Amino acid sequence: MNIFLVFAHPEGRSLNGTLRDIAIDELKAQGHEVRVSDLYAQRWKAQVDRADFPVWPMDERLDPRLASKHAFVSGTLTDDVKAEQEKLEWADAVIIQFPLWWFGMPAILKGWFERVYSHGYAYGVGEYTDKRWGNRYGEGVFAGKRAMILMTTGGWPHHYSARGINGPMEDILFPINHGTLYYPGFDVLPPFIVYNAQRLEAERFDVVSSELRQRMRDLFTIRPIPYRQQNGGDYRIPQMLLQDHIKPGKAGFSVHLRDADEEAPSGAARQGDEA
Q: Locate the domains of the chain by residue range.
A: 2-226
- pLDDT tens for residues 176-211? 999 999 999 999 999 999 998 888 788 888 898 999
Looking at domain 2-226, its CATH superfamily turns out to be Flavodoxin domain (3.40.50.360)
CA dist 250 and 255 (Å) reads 7
How many residues would you count in the chain? 275
Q: Which residues contact 17 (CB under 8 A, 6 or more apart)?
A: 9, 11
Those residues whose C-beta lies under 8 Å from the C-beta of residue 8, and which sit 6 or more positions away, are 39, 40, 96, 97, 98, 105, 106, 108, 109, 112
User: Residue 270 — very low, low, confident or very high, per pLDDT cuts 50/70/90?
Assistant: very low
User: Measured between alpha carbons, how far is 34 from 11 in angstroms, rounded to an integer?
Assistant: 20
* Tens digit of each residue's pLDDT (9 = 90 or more) over 26-78: 999 999 999 999 999 999 999 999 999 999 988 899 999 999 999 999 999 99
Using alpha carbons, list the distances in angstroms from residue 32 to 7, 75, 89, 139.
18, 30, 16, 25
Long-range contacts of 208-213 (CB under 8 A, 24+ apart): 208/19, 209/22, 212/19, 212/22, 212/23, 212/26, 212/150, 213/22, 213/26
Q: For residue 57, is the peptide bond before it cis, meaning its omega torsion is within 30 degrees of 0?
A: no
- Asked if 118 contacts 69 with a C-beta cutoff of 8 angstroms, the reply is yes
pTM of the model: 0.90
